[in-house]
Structure 1
């Protein structure tokens, strides 16, 4: 019963928007220790909810690109294990990158580890407290140096829209004007 409700809901939404979206199917599903976060889905279905969550939209729209999005490297093991008969359900891994000034040192290693799955990798929700040009350039270069890194998405457009607004973490100021950091990344 629980499985069919989940499958029907996902199939309905995926069918409605078929051909129009990339989809973050599962988002922030891990605890800090890489275990699955407690949720109604994991509590009832265990890890199997992940496979179900990726199968249903694929049936409704075979062309959809399905992401697993998290900040935890536990998604590497999950991405490698969620398969059946060699079929991959997850197409790409999104890594949430909320950094502090000077904290970009591990980005290249993270992207390399994620790319080791053979899946495309995207930097999602990028913001850097202080928004230093050198930090943003380091992140952009890490993506460019990783063949499987396909995109970078910032967490918001301007500092005024950021959940970290007081630390001016984005590429555009509160008046939506590009900062020097934006020019450095370009």
Structure 2
């Protein structure tokens, strides 16, 4: 995957966006590998990963470039039930995916401001409206659709996100793995 991204970046591309969970778990080893791979170029890689801790995990977008890396975005609304399970904390368990409904509606990328939407957030009203109220320059929509083979889920997400972008006259960048 690094070779593919470096190939795209070698063609003068300044930003490469990879899907949700493209890097798997954001561990110190993965961090060193990817940060090292892009320490000598001009491109910025924006990619999905999961950050795990004892209380649960964060579904995140990471920005990686020659300056290092940073957590660009933490998902605001993971899928209730399958990802976000707050009731488990009542019994001493992990909440699964963490949520913060009001955090980071827009993020800085280069000289612009993006409205990031990870997977489920593309299908529900709140994250989109919250982001658009902050007047982003564009929308970045990433998803993880490998598990939906044989369904129309990814097509529905693409259609919904395209409709949001058109409704609010915002350019759209989409990255899905299927």
TM-score (norm 2): 0.44
Greater helix proportion:
1
Greater strand proportion:
2
Bigger radius of gyration:
1
TM-score (norm 1): 0.42
